[in-house]
């Protein structure tokens, strides 16, 4: 998975390439097929949103790309890029302060001790959490914890030793628990950071408008087992407003397609 990616003739190099990926949990009669023959290329610097019904295999797919689990069939190539995953749950260390959680991530990425405090403070500013540096996770609201998790994922995209390596940021429903106002602010923030750092983003959400607000492309997965059923390019200029007519119109089209897909499975 870490080998440099060679573009095959007629195919451009991808930051993430899934080729015929299937994933089954368990074996024999009790086996559960979560993903079925998923092929997907994400271009370097592209922002791809992944939509699909609950249980269709979205988190499974991100875990496979993050190399936390292995596919049952098919291949996944990230071309040697750094991969940072922001989980569906915040997954912070409860015994460390907010700053401590961020500093640990920065330490893992080779940031010298003398710089960690300042970098952690900058990351907290970027997720609008100045003033909460010394709190522990249990002292924060669910939405605030999720924002710390976002800051930590961003810390994990840093690599002092190899700053030129591409970075793939995987985000699993990062803003699902947030109020609309905070979510809108963080959409602006993640878009800015994505642009400035040239990140490649694979972003899972249930929220169709959010997918259209953020994505260069929206990929729709079928109900379990997850397969790619349709892809929607998003040609609108950025920054977009989640409540704009253009976003609402394309989101309506995608929602209709999603309903059709969920309906086919009787859910
Ligand atoms: N470690 C595991 N062992 C067994 N089954 C699993 C495991 N992880 C996921 N599954 C099953 O695989 C299917 C896909 O799960 P996954 O978590 O990927 O769905 P999801 O699309 O992320 O759903 P949601 O939108 O609710 O987060 C589900 O039926 C789930 O029960
Ligand atoms: Mg999930």
Closest CA to 229 of 221, 218, 237, 238: 221
Where are the domain boundaries for CATH 3.40.50.300 in the chain?
A: 13-81+166-267
CA-based nearest residue to 2, from 63, 84, 80: 80
pLDDT at 105: 93
pLDDT for position 183:
87
Query: Which protein residues are within 6 Å of ligand 1, measured from CB?
Result: 25, 32, 34, 52, 54-60, 88, 224
pLDDT of residue 2: 40
Contact assessment for residue 174 and residue 155, using Cβ atoms and an 8 Å cutoff: no
Contact 31, 199 (CB under 8 A): no
Q: What pLDDT, in 10s, does the model give residues 139-154?
A: 998 888 988 998 999 8
> Ligand 1 atom closest to Cα of 56?
21
Q: 3-class SS at 98?
A: helix
- Which ligand places an atom closest to the C-alpha of 172? 2
| Per-residue pLDDT, 160 | 67
* Residue 45 pLDDT: 93
Q: What is the pLDDT of residues 115-140, one digit of tens each?
A: 999 999 999 998 889 999 999 999 99
Domain 13-81+166-267 is found in CATH 3.40.50.300: yes
- What ligand 1 atom has the least distance to the C-alpha of 23? 12
Helix axes 142-155, 113-126, angle to 10 degrees: 130
The runs of H, that is alpha helices, within 162-241 are 180-197, 208-214
Cα distance between residue 136 and residue 177, in whole Å: 19
pLDDT at position 196 = 84
Q: How far is CA 44 from CA 198, 200, 201, in A?
A: 8, 6, 9
CA of 235 from ligand 1 middle (Å) equals: 31
Q: What is the DSSP string of 117-159?
A: HHHHHHHHHHTT-TT-TT--GGGS-HHHHHHHHHHHHHHTT--
> In this predicted structure, what is the pLDDT of residue 147?
87
- Residue 27 is predicted with a pLDDT of 87
* Structure confidence at residue 164 (pLDDT): 62
Residue owning the nearest CA to atom 30 of ligand 1: 55
**Other C-beta atoms within 10 Å of 220: how many?**
22
Can you tell me which atom of ligand 1 is nearest the CA of 60?
18
Nearest CA to ligand 1 atom 12: 34
**Omega before residue 177 within 30° of 0, cis:** no
pLDDT under 50 in the chain at which residues? 1-8, 10, 267
């Amino acid at each position: 998975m870490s080998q440099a990616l060679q573009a095959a003739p007629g195919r451009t190099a991808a930051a993430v390439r899934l080729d015929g990926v299937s994933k089954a949990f368990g074996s024999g009669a009790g086996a559960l097929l979560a993903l079925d023959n998923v092929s997907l290329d994400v271009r370097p610097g592209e922002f791809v949103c992944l939509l699909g019904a609950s249980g269709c295999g979205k988190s499974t797919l991100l875990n496979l790309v993050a190399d936390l689990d292995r596919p049952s069939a098919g291949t996944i190539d990230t071309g040697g890029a750094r991969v940072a995953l922001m989980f569906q749950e915040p997954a912070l260390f409860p015994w460390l302060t907010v700053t401590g959680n961020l500093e640990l991530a920065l330490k893992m990425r080779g940031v010298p001790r003398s710089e960690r405090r300042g970098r952690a403070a900058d990351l907290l500013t970027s997720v609008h959490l100045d003033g909460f540096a010394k709190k522990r996770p249990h002292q924060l609201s669910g939405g605030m914890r999720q924002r710390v998790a976002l800051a930590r994922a961003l810390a994990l995209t840093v690599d002092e030793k190899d700053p030129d390596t591409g970075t793939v940021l995987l985000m699993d429903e990062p803003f699902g628990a947030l109020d609309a106002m905070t979510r809108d602010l963080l959409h602006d923030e993640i878009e800015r950071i994505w642009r400035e750092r040239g990140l490649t983003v694979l972003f899972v959400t249930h929220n169709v408008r959010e997918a259209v607000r953020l994505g260069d492309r929206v990929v729709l997965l079928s109900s379990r087992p997850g397969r790619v059923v349709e892809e929607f390019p998003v040609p609108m200029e950025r920054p977009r407003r989640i409540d704009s007519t253009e976003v609402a119109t394309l989101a309506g089209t995608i929602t209709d397609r999603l309903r059709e897909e969920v309906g086919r499975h009787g859910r």
